[in-house]
Amino acid sequence: MMHRLEIVADAGALAERAAAWILEQTAAREGPVSIGLSGGSTPKRLYERLASPDWRGRLPWGRIHLFWGDERFVPADHPDSNQGMVRQAMLGQVPIPPGNIHPIPTDGTPESAAARYEEALRRFAGTRPGEPLFDIQLLGLGPDGHTASLFPGNPALRERKAWALAVIGAKPEPRITLTYPALDSSRAAAFLVAGEEKREILARLRAGDPALPAAGLAPAGTVTILADQAAVGP
């Protein structure tokens, strides 16, 4: 998979550039725009930027649909919830219709929640036949090369049919993740990478290291790496 690399000065500039990138992708679409969200501190800074007074009026929130790439199996008000983080950082400040927000369920069992999220994804996909599931996919890059909750050595990496799976045992808490088939159905994807501690793993991603789950992604459209200088190195 070939990546297009953009380097910015620091984490603040990364949030600004990522916001502009989302606006560019959104402006290229006339109908509903589906966005897959990533958790983590770097995307959080982006979401806070999008909710700021000088950004929240630029996006067509009425036609944006938000989904999540993964979630910890915890209540939405739990401090580790990706949904909760996005709601606090952005959703309370922007005029998006509640029906356009599609969080991963975290009730019942992890397996039943994953099945229900897949049903929701497939219903949405049915409204746009012949098109990718996501117009925009935001991706993180973990220190072990994971993205979403696709971890090295986990059986979820081998899934080729299901769009969402429960991930048990990879981390202390159960998780639900989108699989390669769902993440690959993206018109445009972007890894957001910040900080010197990501330098080694980013270099391995750019080299296409097959041991990294993030390197196994093969989106239908373009893949951009938005990175700050600290993550890229001198």
pLDDT digits 0-9 by tens, 198-221: 999 999 999 999 999 999 999 988
Does the pLDDT at position 1 exceed 70? Answer: no
pLDDT digits 0-9 by tens, 7-38: 999 999 999 999 999 999 999 999 999 999 99
Does the pLDDT at position 177 exceed 90? Answer: yes
Task: Indicate whether this model's pTM tops 0.95.
Answer: yes
Does the pLDDT at position 2 exceed 90? Answer: no
pLDDT (mean) for 59-83:
97
CB proximity list for 195: less than 8 A, separation 6 or greater? 11, 42, 228, 230, 231
Average pLDDT along the chain: 96
Q: How many domains does the chain have?
A: 1
| CATH classification of the domain holding 32 | 3.40.50.1360
- Of the pLDDT bands very low, low, confident and very high (cuts 50, 70, 90), residue 138 is very high
pLDDT (mean) for 104-124:
98
The pLDDT of residue 86 is: 98
Q: Which domain holds residue 113?
A: 4-232
The pLDDT of residue 80 is: 95
